[in-house]
Amino acid sequence: MKILVALKRVADPDNANKVKIPPSGDRIDTAGLEWKPNPFDEYALEAALRLTEDGKAPKARAGEVVVVTFGPKETEQTLRAALATGADRAIRVDVTDDKLDGALVARALKALVEREKPDVVLMGKQAVDGDSNQVGQSLAELLDWPMATFAATIQEEQGALLVGREVDGGVAVLRVRLPAVVTVDLRIVAPTSVYSLKTARTHKYNDGVRFAALPAIMASKKKPLAEVKLADLTADSGLKVQYHGFEPPPARKAGIKVKDVADLVARLKNEAKVL
C-alpha cells in the first residue's frame, strides 16, 4: 500500500503563551516560537507506518510512505524527523503559511495525489494552530474519493479500510474502498488501534508515536527529499480566507473569595447570572 501523509509544522502548543501580536494587529509574530509537527499529523504518520508493516518487524516497510509538508526551507527538519521514524520519501511544497488557506492546500494536494497516485491519503483531523478542520474533507471532495474523518481505529482489508469513528453515543464503523482520504483523531495511536493485513491481531503496539533512534536519524539524511513549487501544483493560488485582524485573548482577571456557600450561590445568581 502506498500512503501519502500530509504533515504541518505548528508553533509548540505547550508554549502558546509565547505567541505575540504586534500593535498593528495585522499578523502573528512568529519570531522566537518553537516549532513541532502538528500532533494529529504525527498520529497520521504513525498510523501510516503501522498500515505498511508487520507490527513484529517494524523496520521493513510493505509499500511506501511519502510525507508532504507546505512550508519554508526550515520545515525540512520536520520532514527529516518523519523520515527518521520510518517514512520513505518526503516532499516540501515551498510556500509560507500566510500565503495558504485550507482550500488552497487541498487544491495543491489534489495535484500532488494525481502525480503520486497513493492508495490512501492520511492526515490529522485538524492542525492545532488554526483548528480549521478542512483540508481532508476538501481534498476528498476534489478527488471525488471516499473519506473517513476522525478515525480512532483503522483495519486494512483487501482493497479497503475499515475505519472506526467515535461519535456521540458509540462507534460508527465505515468501510472505505481505496483509494480514500482518512483523517485521524488522537486514539489512533493506542496499542490496538491500527492493523495492517500483515500484523497479527494479537499484536500490541506501544502507546503513542514511535521514537526515532539515532541510526535511523542519521540514515534519514540520505532519504530523498524533493522540493516542489506551489505554482507547479496549482495555477490558482487565490485565498478564500483572508485574515482581517488579530487580538490576544483578554487577560484573565483576578478571582474573588466568597464567604460561604450562601454567598457563592447569591453571586452565581445575581452577578454571574448562571443560576
The minimum distance between CB 219 and another protein, in angstroms, equals 10
Each as own residue / partner, the long-range contacts of residues 230-233 (CB below 8 Å, 24 or more positions apart, any chain) are 230/70, 230/93, 230/94, 230/95, 230/99, 230/108, 233/93, 233/107, 233/108, 233/111, 233/112
Q: What are the respective helix, strand and coil percentages of the chain, to the nearest 5?
A: 30, 25, 45
Taking CB under 8 A as the rule, does residue 28 contact another protein? no
Taking CB under 8 A as the rule, does residue 212 contact another protein? yes
Taking CB under 8 A as the rule, does residue 268 contact another protein? no
Asked whether 28 and 21 are in contact (CB, 8 A), the reply is: yes
Q: Per the structure block, which three cell numbers stand in for 84? A: 527518521
Question: Which x/- pattern over 175-194 shows residues binding another protein (rule: CB under 8 A)?
Answer: --------------------
Stretch that binds another protein, among 111-119, 168-176, 207-215, 225-233 (CB under 8 A): 207-215
Taking CB under 8 A as the rule, does residue 32 contact another protein? yes
Taking CB under 8 A as the rule, does residue 221 contact another protein? yes
Candidate list 167, 173, 200, 213; residue touching another protein; CB under 8 A? 213
Q: Does 179 sit behind a cis peptide bond, omega within 30 degrees of 0 on the bond before it?
A: yes
Taking CB under 8 A as the rule, does residue 81 contact another protein? yes
Nearest to 246 by CA among 8, 100, 9, 29: 29
Taking CB under 8 A as the rule, does residue 211 contact another protein? yes
* Nearest to another protein of 173, 213 (CB atom): 213
- DSSP 8-state code for residue 132: -
Candidate list 8, 9, 50, 80; residue touching another protein; CB under 8 A? 80
Query: Residues interacting with another protein, by CB under 8 A?
Result: 32, 34, 36, 77, 80-81, 84, 206, 208, 211-218, 220-221
